[in-house]
Structure 1
Amino acid sequence: MSPHDPASQPAGDVVIIGGGAAGLSLAHRLAAPAYPAVTLVEAPNGPLRPPERTWCYWDRGTGVLDAAVTATWSLLRVHGSDGRAVTVDPYPFTYRMIRSADFERLVHSRLARSPNVRVLRATAQEVRDTPGGAEVRCAGPGGRTLALPARHVFDSRPVRALPPARTRLLQHFRGWFVRTPTSRFDPAVADLMDFRVPQPRHGLAFGYVLPLAPDRALVEYTEFSRTPLTTSAYEAALAAYCRDVLRLGPFAVESAEQGVIPMTDARFPRRTGPAVFRIGTAGGATRPATGYTFAAVQRQSRAIAAALRCGRAAVPPPHGRRALAMDAVLLRALDTGRIDGPRFFTDLFRRVPPERLLRFLDGATSPAEEWSIGLRTPVAPMLRTTLELPFLPRRPAPDDPRTGERHR
């Protein structure tokens, strides 16, 4: 971070707005002499800075973010509504958790050593197109207005309203970090979906358990539906899950986190001006049918860095067209109730080889592999949904999408 007055310095070639997963990931990729000068605009401490949150993803081998990884799991488990569990080994993948505070420390430590990146604590208020670039106007320290000129701007701030869509669901949750007086968890196994919870009239619900130690875990209640719950409703659902399903006995809640992310077939524009690009969830990085975002943000950041190194500015689509088309079908089938959500996801883990399934969820499978996976889903309702989608209009979103960053 520069020790000098930020208002007295030029912004450089690139301005990144936002210090969440997307903004920090891109700054991290650009923190090298081979890249242009970068200014990362982060909101100051206060209501605009989100609370600590958790991001999860699967990956193979080692990576540049390993130092920020809190925990990993070599086995994944799904519990069906009938109580039967399926446990899979997705080798060579492992499931990984990163806490946002650890991620921020890792990235900021590198940015502090980088000669081409500076961090500015300010509130971005407006982005204007200018000849040959753009200008970011910010409220800086002491309320001063700062004008940051740049050749390219990458904006990760949440959109004010979701784009028009045919299907619009929300993945909403509340999670507790719990501690038990005795060993109650298996640190090798992550429970991705536990459908042994009461199902809502519309959508689906499941538990999510990430053990951090034999006596510690993140336990979450999640729904895929159209409307979030109240905090008290999440608390009641979590208490019932811990008591009646997990049978934890006495436990202490050390902290909690809560959030909402969009699950939609809306088309997120990745460019909003000649030199202004959207990244992260705002740029369509969230996988519509699962809510996973962090891995796509890493792919997107690598692609942007590669383009800038070649003298170009571009934000490639974080998900392929086939993946988005399949997600649109699944979302519509879930929203209409044509498929049983708990059974659908449980059968995927029971019938599809785990390594192939995770590649499928990352959009890295071939058409032949996707065809074989499709044959293991309810063919008739999925086909009916596929045929009707082209004739459905895309409708504007409500004014308050209540979306933001969360686990995945």
Structure 2
Amino acid sequence: MNQKQSENNMFDYIICGGGMSGLSLAYQISLSKVSDKKILIIDPERKTKNDRTWAFWEKIDNPFDQILFKKWQSVKIVDSHKKEKIYDLGEYSYKLLRGIDFYNFVNNHLDKFPNIIFCLDKVNNIQENTDNVEVETVNYGKFSAQYVFDSTFKLNLEDKKNHNLLQHFKGLVIETKENLFEKDIPDMMNFGVPQKDAECRFMYVLPFTKNRAIIEFTVFSEKLLSEKEYDESLFEYLKKDLKLTDYKILEEEFGIIPMSDTETQYIVSNRIIRIGTAGGATNPATGYTFSNTQKKLKKIVSTLEKGQNNFKKESFWQKRHLIYASTLLNVIKENRHPMAEVFDQLFAKNPISQVFKFLDGETTLWEEIKIMWSTPKVKFGMAFLNVISKKLKNSFL
């Protein structure tokens, strides 16, 4: 089956998907009170390439802080009028984790556990029975477990009843002759690039060393751009904004993250739990997934440690932040107000730590009111009413 062979096809836990969320769950379980449980991870391949970079803010430590590539206590934000401001993050840190470092660290760690087995195959079907769950694979047949944690489920992003946008980006890791990034402060968001229609476009620059950084062009929109458009924006920024003509491109990356308010079924049953984007860990308003995933997985492991199967659903009140995200998506989708200007106002009128707290869904109602009051009130009010109207209408269909 792979490096480790199973004596039979019965497990305590099966993890469908060996990407970030699946590997993170296996890692967290391996450090828990249920580390002796028999676990199967199913994925067509074991991750060995630097296929992505996660950048995220946090005010707490996460299980992978020891392998962070970089961490910053200050960031720079450039508004749509090219006005720069450096923000001290206070209790927050802005963190950068490379995919290859994460994969190598977790894979090496999990290989030390004979009870954790990898199956290099594709999940074909997941079927719940009375006392277990069966997972059928393409080549190796069926496996059963007490619980299945699934990151392979694909959300329906074609449903017109919801707001379905994409965050898509292309990045270049470059090396310059001069020490261009001497200040070692990342441009977390630079909105001073040409905007287009209902899209929101920005650059971010994360310095690795004094002469090496990743430059990434990011777009929030319904459709992808052509490869030529990503390149034109990147190379124009390098030439006109960074004044660069002599540099080497060391790596390239491209990614697509769903920005959707399609409601996810996190708890399918007492035995089938979805994780990662499939389980609602991706923030609909920002596309951030990594830190949200770690928080959700921590709760799952805590439940397993207690020997319980009552994985708690979020209450209606806890889901209010999804309404806020839907409102933001509605503003973008309906082209109600330039999003670059919305972010300008958010950061100009609120402490950056408060914006982070709001986007993480950790604010109080009063704090949320103050945040929302700093946005274009009429436009966001219209979007909010439209979102509520759609949700009420959909609930009766």
The CA deviation at 1:369 is 1.0
Q: How far off its partner does 1:112 sit?
A: 2.2
Q: Is the 8 A contact 2:74 2:89 kept in 1?
A: yes
Query: For structure 1, which segment, 344-353 or 267-276, has the greater mean C-alpha deviation from structure 2 after superposition?
Result: 267-276
Aligned length: 389
Query: Which moved further from structure 2: 313-322 or 227-236?
Result: 313-322
Match of 1:290, SS state, is: coil
The 1-side partners of 2:69 and 2:183 are apart by: 12
Which consecutive unaligned segments of at least 5 residues does structure 1 have?
A: 397-408
Please give the alpha-carbon distance, in whole angstroms, between the structure 1 residues aligned to 2:40 and 2:282: 25
Aligned to 1:52: 51
Question: C-alpha separation between the residues in 2 aligned to 1:161 and 1:343?
Answer: 30
- Residue equivalent to 1:386: 384
Contact 2:170–2:255 (8 Å) recurs in 1:
yes
Q: Provide the rounded CA distance (Å) in 2 between the counterparts of 1:64 and 1:173.
A: 27
CA offset at residue 232 of structure 1? 2.1
Q: Structure 1: how far apart are the matches of 2:380 and 2:32? A: 50
Q: Relative to 1, partners in 2 of residues 1:244 and 1:133: Cα closer, same or farther, differing over 3 Å?
A: same
**Which residue in 2 is equivalent to 1:149?**
144
- Of 348, 351, 367, the residue aligned with 1:350 is 348
Identity of aligned residues (%): 29
Q: Which residue of 1 aligns with 2:372?
A: 374
The answer to whether the Cα contact below 8 Å between 2:135 and 2:144 also exists between their aligned partners in 1 is yes
- Are the equivalent residues in 1 in contact too, given 2:9–2:142 (CA < 8 A)? no
Work out the CA distance in 1 between the residues paired with 2:393 and 2:16. Answer: 29
Tell me, what secondary structure is at the counterpart of 1:392? helix
Select the residue among 306, 311, 315 that pairs with 2:307.
Answer: 311
Aligned to 1:399: none
Distance 1:31 1:205 in 2: 40
Q: Which amino acid aligns with 2:247?
A: F
Question: 3-state DSSP class of the match of 1:108?
Answer: helix
Shift of the 11–243 alpha-carbon distance from structure 1 to 2, 3 Å rule, reads: farther
Bigger drift between 72-81 and 179-188 goes to: 179-188
Cα pair distance change 1:4/1:251, threshold 3 Å: closer
Moved more, 189-198 or 268-277: 268-277
Q: 1:189 matched to which residue of 2?
A: 185
Kept in 2: contact 1:44–1:122 (CA 8 A): yes
Q: How does 1:127-206 map to 2 (within 5 A)?
A: 127-139=126-138, 144-159=139-154, 161-162=156-157, 164=159, 165-186=161-182, 188-206=184-202
The one of the two structures with greater contact order (alpha-carbon pairs below 8 A, sep at least 6) is 1
Q: Secondary structure at the match of 1:13?
A: strand
In the TM superposition, what are the counterparts of 1:202-281 in structure 2 within 5 Å? 202-273=198-269, 275-281=271-277
SS in 2 for 1:189: coil
- The aligned amino acid for 1:227 is K
Matched residue type, 1:350? A
Query: Normalised by the size of structure 1, how large is the TM-score?
Result: 0.88
Check the 8 A contact 2:17/2:152 in 1, yes or no: yes
1:76-91 alignment runs, 5 A limit = 76-91=75-90
State the TM-score, normalizing by the size of structure 2: 0.91
Deviation string 1:130-157 (CA, Å, 9 cap, x unpaired) is 2212111224xxxx42321111111111
- 1:12 maps to 11
Supply the RMSD in Å over aligned alpha carbons. 2.5
Distance change in 2, residues 1:188/1:60 (3 Å) = farther
Instruction: Tell me the alpha carbon deviations over residues 86-107 of structure 1, each in whole angstroms, 9 at most, x when there is no partner.
Output: 2111111110011111111221
Contact 2:53 / 2:98 at 8 angstroms: preserved in 1? yes
CA distance in 2, matches of 1:149, 1:70: 38
Q: Distance in 1 between matches of 2:392 and 2:99?
A: 34
